[in-house]
A and B are shown apart, each in its own frame.
Chain A
Amino acid sequence: QVQLVESGGGVVQPGRSLRLSCAASGFSFSTYGMHWVRQAPGKGLEWVTFIRSDGSRKYSADSVEGRFNISRDNSNKTLYLQMSSLRAEDTAVYYCARGGRCRDNICFFDAFDLWGQGTMVTVSS
């Protein structure tokens, strides 16, 4: 079954750290670029960060630059989001999503055709 399953969300105090995981199954994980997208309660979608299929390149939104780090373990088909210095405004449902390919050594973003169910992160004292 082709799917993404996030885990690791919870309640965390401001300034602390948290690591999210996204387990992939049913497709060739190592050939796809992957993203994290978040959605604050009652709000719209916000792209957070991206990692290339081989992990060689990353991009992040300004709002998380220097605080969040995306990584991946292709052998275990898992995507990670290490979040540090968390703030109240980081409270959101965090989704992992598939959306990038490389072809003939040229890599590009793709539309997000596969999403996980999301994991809730609440930053509160």
Chain B
Amino acid sequence: EIVLTQSPGTLSLSPGERATLSCRASQSVSNFAWYQQKPGQAPRLLIYGASSRATGIPDRFSGSGSGTDFTLTISRLEPEDFAVYYCQQYGRSPITFGQGTRLQIK
């Protein structure tokens, strides 16, 4: 099983600032995604294929990385961006998620 470790666990920033979220895999990953989840809602796909934005996702969200190290960057935080973010590998079974990074308002 591929274990995904996200850092930091919690990130406190202000609107307008830049957010950098990390995810490290225990072995090389072939297919990688990022999701956003707000309280009481289902997760929403942000990034697939490590760097491709999903339909309707603003361009302030960007993904990068390959192999075992991946990054989600939010260039300029908007109030609606404060949420929990999960990374995921979907290259092989079992599909696994990271434990999540909580992005909160400072």
Residues of A in contact with B (beta carbons under 8 Å apart): 35, 37, 44-47, 50, 59, 61-62, 95, 99, 108-113, 115-118
Q: Is the CB of A111 within 8 A of B95?
A: no
Interface of B is mostly: loop
Residues of B in contact with A (beta carbons under 8 Å apart): 31, 33, 35, 37, 42-45, 48-49, 54-55, 86, 88, 90-100
Contact of B54 among A47, A111, A117 (CB under 8 A): A111
Residues of A within 8 A of B86 (CB): 44-45
Residues of B within 8 A of A37 (CB): 43
Q: Is the CB of A112 within 8 A of B97?
A: no
Given contacts A44-B86, A95-B42, contact A113 B94 (CB under 8 A): no
Contact of A111 among B88, B92, B93 (CB under 8 A): B88
